A and B are shown apart, each in its own frame.
Chain A
Amino acid sequence: MPTSPLDKVAHATPRPVARRIRGLTDRAIAWIFVAPTIFLLLAVNIFPLIWTIRLSFTNYRVNRPNRDVEWIGLRNYERILTDPDIWATMQATAHFLIWTIVLQVLIGFALAYLINKKFKGNDLWTTIIVFPMMLSPAVVGNFWTFLYQPQIGLFNYAVAFFTGVEPASFSMIGDVHLAPWAIVIADTWMWTPFVMLICLAGLRSIPDTIYEAAECDRASKWRQFWTITVPMVLPFLMLAVLFRGIENFKMFDLVVQLTGGGPGNTTTLTSIDLKREAFEKWRTGLSSAYAVILFVTVFGLASIYVKALNKVKER
């Protein structure tokens, strides 16, 4: 009678299967287990990428499937990289990316630092702060549209309260200078809690003994902050920047719901422009080249970032 779990499994295996597997090496069995995952990865990730690269060298339009597809070389890339409108969308994305990351890291870290102190109602405050992150971007975009309304929007009234400016005298999503900031504020409101949670994990991983040793050496709170807290939270912060950076580079839903890319093209980020090229103008070849450019940029940035992260972790 089988006694160990291994024996039980061996006895439970049907004879024909057991006969087939008996002759295989460990390496072959490992390949059998890994093969479905590799196949799925190739089908879902690698094949579409290669197909997109191939399409980027053609004039293919998905709304005219019967038209002959011409190989046009680097013309799509040339067109994208000399187009001032696409250049403007890159700048809009850079503005959005830089400011959201700066604000989210600063506010997120400050909130985590405060929440990490032991006080009454700590858990309740954590739940309240994390709440925006749980909402759908479409919902957030919709209600920030109401908050930004010049006549009835609470945001305008709050600004009016602090500055004395007439609430109806400015429109956050209708003004070309304010709209880029409107999307930065909404995204910061939504995703700062995410950065806060990551920083909080970092702060809670620092053992108290290090602070106690620093106290014994009479290190000031300021010095403890810069020589213990910041270096030990840095890998977590960098991870948060990596996640938010990649995520905001592809930002689409929140901005579409909030401004639709307007007024004019001031909040048209690259992902919105890419979607217009692909599914409104139906320039599939051109939009594939656009996607390849964005992919290489994000991939390159992520590579150097992961390298920096590993260096910080080694310290």
Chain B
Amino acid sequence: MKAFINGLLRLRRGPWEMVASLFIAVGVVMLMQPFMLVAYSYSFIVTLVGTVMFIIVSHFPE
């Protein structure tokens, strides 16, 4: 956990990609879940943030 937070603070690729992937996964689940319309409404912005973040952080050093 400490290594993960250190990686985030030092702008390392691995942990930041993990965060971006989490955003995308949560966004897709929100988009396709059948329970809450509110979650569906905010799904796109969550996925978009995750995808843009993924593109940016994949240029960070290893």
Give the interface of A toward B (CB within 8 A): 77, 81-82, 84, 87, 90-91, 93-94, 293, 296-297, 299-301, 303-304, 307
Q: Which of A90, A293, A300 contacts B24 (CB 8 A)?
A: A300
The answer to whether A300 touches B44, judged by C-beta atoms less than 8 angstroms apart, is: no
Q: Which of B34, B41, B54 contacts A81 (CB 8 A)?
A: B41
Contact of A296 with B37 at beta-carbon distance under 8 Å, contacts A301-B28, A304-B25 already known = no
The answer to whether B51 touches A299, judged by C-beta atoms less than 8 angstroms apart, is: yes
Bound together, the chains give a CA A87 to CA B31 distance in angstroms of 8
Of all chain B residues, which has the CB nearest A91? B34
In B5-58, the 8 Å CB interface with A consists of 17, 20-21, 24-25, 27-28, 31-34, 37, 40-44, 47-48, 50-51, 54-55
Contact of A296 with B47 at beta-carbon distance under 8 Å, contacts A91-B32, A91-B34, A304-B54 already known = yes
Contact of A87 with B48 at beta-carbon distance under 8 Å, contacts A304-B54, A307-B21 already known = no
The answer to whether A300 touches B17, judged by C-beta atoms less than 8 angstroms apart, is: no
Of all chain A residues, which has the CB nearest B40? A87
Q: Shortest distance in angstroms between B27's beta carbon and chain A's nearest beta carbon?
A: 7
The answer to whether A84 touches B37, judged by C-beta atoms less than 8 angstroms apart, is: yes
Residue from B24, B42, B54 having most chain A Cβ neighbours under 10 A? B24
The answer to whether B44 touches A77, judged by C-beta atoms less than 8 angstroms apart, is: yes
Query: Interface SS of chain B: helix, strand, loop or mixed?
Result: helix
Of all chain A residues, which has the CB nearest B55? A303
Q: Shortest distance in angstroms between A194's beta carbon and chain B's nearest beta carbon?
A: 23
Which residues of A sit under 8 angstroms from B20, Cβ to Cβ?
304
Bound together, the chains give a CA A284 to CA B3 distance in angstroms of 48
Which residues of B sit under 8 angstroms from A303, Cβ to Cβ?
21, 24, 51, 54-55
Show 16 residue pairs from A and B whose CB-CB distance is below 8 angstroms, ordered by the A residue: A77-B44, A81-B43, A82-B41, A90-B40, A91-B32, A91-B33, A91-B34, A297-B28, A297-B47, A300-B24, A301-B24, A303-B24, A303-B51, A303-B54, A307-B17, A307-B21
The answer to whether B44 touches A81, judged by C-beta atoms less than 8 angstroms apart, is: yes
Which residues of A sit under 8 angstroms from B48, Cβ to Cβ?
296
The answer to whether A300 touches B40, judged by C-beta atoms less than 8 angstroms apart, is: no
Q: Shortest distance in angstroms between A308's beta carbon and chain B's nearest beta carbon?
A: 8
Which residues of A sit under 8 angstroms from B42, Cβ to Cβ?
81
Bound together, the chains give a CA A82 to CA B38 distance in angstroms of 8
Of all chain A residues, which has the CB nearest B38? A82
